[in-house]
Chain A
Amino acid sequence: MGRIIKLGLTLAIFCVISAGMLAYVFIMTVPRIEANAKASFEGSLREVLPGAESFKNVVAPGTKSEIYEGYAGGQAVGLAVKVSPRGYSGEIVMLVGVDPEFRVKGMKILNQRETPGLGTNVEKPKFQKQFIGKGIKDAIEPKKDIDAITGATISSRAVCDGVKTVLRDSDQYRKVKP
């Protein structure tokens, strides 16, 4: 009996020391981790909507996407919309910028787990620049309007779907905007 208590106490002491160290590391690093995440997301917003100086999270009823309106000198200069279409292995998290005429201005893949060497090519500018200038009325079908990536039809289709969702949601935002 005494042995069990001794072993239990020894383990407890190890756990307490470990917890103390982790708490210290956590407090030291969390502000930096949060700042990194924020800075990297804001950097991506600026990348897809060049020219915008500040961003405001806006809501469009009837859409599920995260929409950010970009401003430059008090003027609205377009939207940046975050969508997560389903790719070949998991979601492709992407950010698409649209200009005030609701045409695609820039896009960036934030996170994806596609097949290396095939699906990951959706990050290449050569593929992405095909979407620039597309609007709500344009057809965006892989293999017809958009050259799909060889060996990665599903990933290409997911990105097309993502862009379509963005255009639909920004159109919805235009309609409900006061």
Chain B
Amino acid sequence: MNLWKDFNQGIIRENPVLRLMIGLCPVLAVSNNAINALGMSIAVAFVLIGSNFVVALIRKMTPDEIRIPIFIIIISTFVTICDYVMQAYSPALYQALGVFVPLIVVNCIILGRAEAFAYKNPVLNSVLDGVGMSLGFMLALVSIGVIREVLGAGSVFGFPLFDERIAATIMILPPGAFITIGVLMALVNRMENKVL
């Protein structure tokens, strides 16, 4: 069994953001501080693990022609549940993430893993793949969030580190997202190529 491989490939080797480069839209948009990044990662993890589980569970009875609509129904059900639960139990985070919670439906990491992995693999492997991919997504998103928040606002997870007047505001604006993500991609590529 390749359970361990299914679990850890998403973390660095096939990291969805930094290696596969999918799901970049929410990454760019909500990574301007560490708390938003963490909240978004948790929401994506819930949806990804849930949808991988259900897709793997029903893959034998899913007719091939309509698998994509069925995936979308499953994913949007999980996203809507996540949306309501977040609104009820964490209204501040819900307000900060705004439109990006409903947009998890069209996040290609989730549909991509359903189609490329969960539809072809047993339940346990698919759940592990979901957990691994979620951890990879969280690792990338929270790193970007921390870097941008420290450099751009002089704080981390909301705790002030130094006077924010000397912080580079550009880092919490959209260009900061592109700069950070580019630098991290380069680092991960270098690290991976050395290992190979």
Contacts and interface: CB of A to CB of B under 8 A. Distances in A.
Interface of A: 6-7, 10-11, 14-15, 18, 21-22, 25-26, 29-30, 32-33, 36-37, 40, 111, 115-118, 151
Given A32-B88, A111-B95, A25 B63 contact: no
A115 B170 CA distance: 11
B158 interface: no
A150 to B, nearest CB: 10
Contact of B73 (A15, A32, A36): A15
B81 A25 contact: yes
Given A22-B81, A118-B169, A36 B66 contact: no
Contact of A36 (B74, B77, B88, B152): B88
Chain A interface, DSSP helix/strand/loop, else mixed: helix
A22 B85 contact: no
Contacts of B127: none
B167 to A, nearest CB: 8
B3 interface: no
Contacts of A37: 91
Contacts of A14: 70, 73-74
Contacts of A25: 80-81, 84-85
Contact of B77 (A22, A30, A116, A118): A22
